[in-house]
Chain A
Amino acid sequence: MSSLVFKRVYVWELAVRFFHWITVGSMIVLIITGFIIADPPALNMHVEASNAYLFGYIRVIHFTAAYLVMAVALFRLYWAFAGNQFAHWSYFIPYSKKAIKNILHVIKSDILLLKDRNENLEDVSIGHNRLAAFSYFIMGLLFIFQAMTGLALLSQTSGWWFPKMFAWIVPLMGGEIHVRYWHHFLTWIFMTFIVIHVYLVLYHDYVEARGEVSSMISGFKFVRAERIKKDKETQKD
């Protein structure tokens, strides 16, 4: 049995990895503090109110993490124009025939786990597969909605013009109680995304063994040597 030859390809630039892990950290903090805010546990009973500011701190942490994730999201938006082909905005929207073809392949091969008879080497994505990329685009839209509802909830008590820009969302959605509801509900969608995303990363690493997990740390993925142009083959891997 012949062994396959793989080459290292630099897929995730430092900016992308930086964005990814800051987002991971912020989301974990936001989810935990968010659920505490929604239904505070009885942690702090029997102290004097004047000696404690626990809930205030939890809210401050939630708001700080929210601003942090918004800042890196903005940075990622910039990188969608400045970054490499795998970070480019056009990679995330499946408007081309090629992208649709890849999505169909991924659904067949990786979601339904069927054998794709017309399988070729091109189908194995180097960066994101196009279905995953599209799911990140959808998550990006949901993130914008989550950020806007959060800022709308903050607008009334904030002294800053930025959250105040989103005050119009409150009457549009029928009052703060509804804004709060959707902000809370979307948290579950984000958690669902995390479960699916982490599972599929593990799945790809398990089945393809191309360094899917470590790629978001090192930036490198392993790609079949046949995918690299011949004249480049002399380069060091």
Chain B
Amino acid sequence: MTTSQQKETYLDALLERGYSRRDFMKFVTFITAYMGLEHSMVSQVAKALETKKRIPVIWEHFQECTGCTESFIRSDHPIVADIILDSISLDYTDTLMAAAGHNAESAKQKSMKENYGKYILIVEGAVPTKDGGVYCTIAGRTAVDILKESAAGAAAIITFGSCSAYGGVQAAYPNPTGSVPVDAIIKDKPIIKVPGCPPISEVMTGVVIHYAVFGTIPELDSIGRPKQFYGKRVHDSCYRRPYFDAGLFAESYDSEEAKKGYCLYKLGCRGPVTYNACGFMEWNNGVSFPIKSGYPCIGCSENNFWDNGPFQERLVNISGFGIEATADKIGKVVLGVAAGGAALHAIATNVLKRKEIKESIESGMENEKHLNS
């Protein structure tokens, strides 16, 4: 990546790569719709991408599985991948860059220096903090160290995937490496969380384009996710919702009801407690999403979703009672103890209070004998 590239606009870069202006306008229309903007905003988005200089991107990979990158490169519009991977001038990403070793590291250093205060930092993966952060090191440096250095000059941080947003699987109980999400370490930068395991490709692109076009971070919800993509529950945009309202539920995976496409609520579907765009954007060029494929949502865009298991049951387990116990198990014990206690108490009453009871019955019988009529 050369510095001259960063003086180009997005349109310049695309024309240079052999796309036509028509391709560009198709992309603009598509991404405007995905960002949840009105159709009348298309011209504004086009203008911004025509005139604005491209924003450099540094993409760091820590404790992750590269699933987010995999999702990202399967975007359903060819320009989506190109505009980020090449045209937005992705200056550093372990997975996709051609350079390696010292060349790659020095390219990153150079880019960070030249674009100090201007670049977007994308983080994929959680950051281990235990034992001095030794559980994730790149080029001999710990993830904590690298993150702090990269974040220092970033204009904004976008966290791709649930790991960098909320800790993900490595932060799940018992979290052996002391993994934390990015916002546990970096406190002084705007952070846009794009969780999911992985997030939807068009959502990832949409967030980056939003920042590129408007220069501001999008409106976020209470746990840091852009509302335009995470504003709705999967349940409320689910095409199986009519079955839920009708009370038609699949009881098991191989049942007649499952084949008919009934609601997966009883199989532990997390759709009613999960905020994501799966229901209307879907995956892999809009082919499908888990529920459409017959498997309940596992709630992957929610905080600490790995600890909210088991995935195929409606009620989560809570640890800390020594045994894994659901609300129903604890509740039945509490209720049972109370009922048993009441029964024992009733017996004990008749024994220990026999004198009082006997006396009042006797006096009542006495009165009965002296009734007027």
Contact = CB atoms under 8 A, between A and B. Distances in A.
Interface of A: 1-4, 38-40, 42-45, 47, 49-56, 58, 111, 113-114, 156-157, 167-168, 170-171, 174-178, 180-181, 184-185, 187-189, 191-192, 195-196, 199, 203, 206-207, 209
Interface in B229-283: 233, 236, 242-249, 251, 257, 265-266, 270, 272-273
Contacts of A189: 331, 334
Contact of A181 (B318, B346, B357, B367): B318
A199 B257 CA distance: 43
A101 B248 CA distance: 56
A40 B266 CA distance: 7
A178 B316 contact: yes
Interface residues of B, number: 54
Interface in B321-356: 327-328, 330-332, 334-335, 338-339, 341-342, 345-346, 348-349, 352-353, 356
B366 interface: yes
Given A49-B243, A175-B273, A188 B363 contact: no
Contacts of A175: 223, 273, 299, 302-304, 308
Given A50-B242, A156-B233, A174-B303, 4 more contacts: A47-B246, A181-B315, A195-B338, A196-B341
B362 A1 contact: yes
Given A52-B246, A196-B342, A188 B327 contact: yes
A203 B349 contact: yes
Contacts of A42: 249, 251
Contacts of A54: 246-247
A235 to B, nearest CB: 22
Interface of B: 222-223, 233, 236, 242-249, 251, 257, 265-266, 270, 272-273, 299, 302-304, 308, 314-316, 318, 327-328, 330-332, 334-335, 338-339, 341-342, 345-346, 348-349, 352-353, 356-357, 359-360, 362-364, 366-367
B339 A39 contact: no
A203 B348 CA distance: 11
A157 B349 contact: no
Contact of B247 (A55, A157, A209): A55
Contact of B334 (A47, A157, A167, A192): A192
A134 B331 CA distance: 22
4 closest A-B pairs (Cβ-Cβ)? A188-B331, A54-B247, A52-B246, A55-B247
A189 B338 CA distance: 10
Given A4-B363, A113-B349, A188-B331, A43 B233 contact: no
Contact of A53 (B245, B265, B360, B362): B245
B370 to A, nearest CB: 9
B94 to A, nearest CB: 31
Contacts of B359: 1
A58 to B, nearest CB: 7
A195 B213 CA distance: 62
B345 to A, nearest CB: 7
Contacts of A199: 342, 345-346
B315 A191 contact: no
B220 to A, nearest CB: 11
